[in-house]
Chains A and B, each alone.
Chain A
């Protein structure tokens, strides 16, 4: 895949990370702070938004970019989980992984090395909408 080629270890790591975002970041924390899961989710998104305004202060360019990308991934997953229903988070994480698997299969199985391979890959992903597989 254009991200590197996914291996089972990588997919398992991503699954654990995504599920942890909900189980620990929302379920467990909402109990600790006596908030609803929805309130916790909104506060996490707010915190990440406030943090993203300050990350320019991280001087090491790689660590700054890693922190920003990871935060962005978490934000995006929370938004997706909110849209799909928080209780469906395991299925959502599975579907995100399937999206990446499909990206991998399409690129390495068909498009790699062909003209406009990346453009065709991005357009193909629109046909593979999450939740439809």
Chain B
């Protein structure tokens, strides 16, 4: 699936096609490198690899308060939390469906962008309405 983003802004930053593809590359790597390749290397099931990754990231997140640079701490924590949740989503839906999950997330971010800038921006309760709208996009 290819998503053509005509607009280049969104409440979480300002998205465009390249950024969505960049995120897709990150998502692909999380599964292909972090789960599939590692499982093959260790000769263990995908679920076990994901559980180990989730455990490692959870342990790490308990220690990141020690990172003194506030922006780097926040970036590291945000990325670790993002990876954790993505892995939980992949685990729940099935590793074999990871490409569909990535496509869904591309669509989800696109819809967020489109709804906000084509309809809600500048209106009363714009962000509340946006969050509620996202419940209509089902995985």
Q: Which A positions have Cβ atoms within 8 angstroms of B?
A: 2-7, 9-10, 12-17, 20-21, 24-26, 28-29, 44, 47-48, 50-51, 53-60, 62-63, 65-80, 83, 96, 99-100, 103, 117-119, 121-123, 125-126, 129-130
Q: Which of B108-131 contact A (CB under 8 A)?
A: 108-109, 112, 127-128, 130-131
Q: Mark B61-103, 1 if CB is under 8 A from A, else 0.
A: 0111111110110111111111101111100100000000000
What residues of B have a CB within 8 angstroms of the CB of A17 in the complex?
Answer: 19, 22-23, 26
What residues of A have a CB within 8 angstroms of the CB of B81 in the complex?
Answer: 65, 68-69, 72
In the complex, which of the residues A5, A29, A59 contacts B33, with contact meaning CB atoms closer than 8 Å? A5
User: Which has the most chain B C-beta neighbours within 10 Å: A29, A59, A68, A74?
Assistant: A74
B60 & A15 in contact (Cβ 8 Å cutoff): no
SS class of chain B's interface: helix, strand, loop or mixed?
A: helix
A30 and B95 CA atoms in complex are apart in Å by 40
A63 and B25 CA atoms in complex are apart in Å by 19
What residues of A have a CB within 8 angstroms of the CB of B60 in the complex?
Answer: 2-3, 118, 121-122
A50 & B127 in contact (Cβ 8 Å cutoff): yes
In the complex, which of the residues A4, A20, A48, A83 contacts B83, with contact meaning CB atoms closer than 8 Å? A4
SS class of chain A's interface: helix, strand, loop or mixed?
A: helix
Q: Report if A2-B56 is in contact (Cβ < 8 Å); known contacts: A21-B14, A54-B128, A118-B62.
A: yes
What residues of A have a CB within 8 angstroms of the CB of B79 in the complex?
Answer: 3, 14, 69, 73, 100
B35 to chain A, nearest CB (A): 8
B126 to chain A, nearest CB (A): 8
Q: Whose C-beta in chain A lies nearest to the C-beta of B89?
A: A62
- Given A2-B57, A24-B15, A70-B109, 9 further pairs, Cβ under 8 A: A10-B29, A13-B23, A14-B26, A29-B8, A58-B131, A60-B139, A62-B88, A73-B79, A76-B78
A67 and B64 CA atoms in complex are apart in Å by 21
User: Which has the most chain A C-beta neighbours within 10 Å: B16, B28, B85, B109?
Assistant: B85
